[in-house]
Amino acid sequence: MKTIAVLTSGGDAPGMNAAIRAVVRTALDKKFTVMGIERGYSGLINGEMIPMERRSVADIIQRGGTILKTARSEEFKTENGRKKAVQMLGKFGIDSLVVIGGDGSFRGAQELSRMSIATVGIPGTIDNDLPYTDFTIGFDTAVNTVLDAINKLRDTSTSHERVSVVEVMGRNCGDIALYSGLAGGAENIILPEKGYDQDKLCKNILEEKIKGKLHNLIVLAEGIGGAEALAKKIQEVTGIEARATKLGHIQRGGSPSCMDRILASRFGYRAVELLEEGKTSRVVGIKGAKIIDLDIDEALSVPRYFDDKLYKIANALA
Ligand code: ADP
**In the annotation, is 127 catalytic?**
yes
Element (H, E) at 35: strand 33-37
The answer, yes or no, to whether any atom of ligand 1 lies below 6 A from the CB of 72, is: yes
Q: Where are the alpha helices (DSSP H) in the chain?
A: 16-29, 40-46, 79-91, 103-114, 139-160, 175-183, 198-210, 227-238, 258-276, 296-300, 308-317
**66-82 pLDDT, tens per residue?**
999 999 999 999 999 99
72 is in an annotated binding site: yes
The answer, yes or no, to whether any atom of ligand 1 lies below 6 A from the CB of 171, is: no
State yes or no: pLDDT of 275 exceeds 70.
Answer: yes
Q: What's the pLDDT at 214? A: 80
CATH of 141-252, one of 3.40.50.460, 3.30.565.10, 3.90.550.10, 3.40.720.10: 3.40.50.460
Q: State how far the alpha carbon of 266 is from the alpha carbons of 2, 7, 37, 123, 192, in Å.
A: 21, 17, 21, 12, 31
Angle between helices 175-183 and 139-160 (to 10 degrees): 50
Catalytic residue among 127, 129, 140, 260: 127
Q: What percent of the chain has pLDDT over 70?
A: 100
9 is in an annotated binding site: no
Q: What's the pLDDT at 221? A: 98
Distance CA 219, CA 113 (A): 39
Q: What is the mean pLDDT of residues 232-261?
A: 97
State yes or no: pLDDT of 217 exceeds 70.
Answer: yes
Distance CA 260, CA 168 (A): 19
Q: What's the pLDDT at 1? A: 67
Q: What is the mean pLDDT of residues 270-283?
A: 97
Helix (H, G, I), strand (E, B) or coil at 101: strand
Q: What's the pLDDT at 213? A: 83
Q: What is the mean pLDDT of residues 86-109?
A: 97
State yes or no: pLDDT of 130 exceeds 80.
Answer: yes
Q: Which CATH class is domain 3-138+256-300?
A: alpha beta
State yes or no: pLDDT of 282 exceeds 70.
Answer: yes
Q: What's the pLDDT at 210? A: 87
76 C-alpha vs ligand 1 centroid, how far in Å?
8
Please check whether residue 44 is in contact with residue 37, taking contact to mean a CB–CB distance below 8 angstroms. Answer: yes
Q: What is the mean pLDDT of residues 291-309?
A: 97
109 C-alpha vs ligand 1 centroid, how far in Å?
9
In Å, the largest CA–CA distance within the chain is 72
Q: What's the pLDDT at 212? A: 86
Residue nearest to ligand 1 atom 14, measured at CA: 72
CA-based nearest residue to 47, from 88, 86, 83: 88
164 is in an annotated binding site: no
108 C-alpha vs ligand 1 centroid, how far in Å?
6
Domain boundaries, the chain: 3-138+256-300, 141-252
Asked whether the domain spanning 141-252 has the same topology as the one spanning 3-138+256-300, the reply is yes
State yes or no: pLDDT of 90 exceeds 90.
Answer: yes
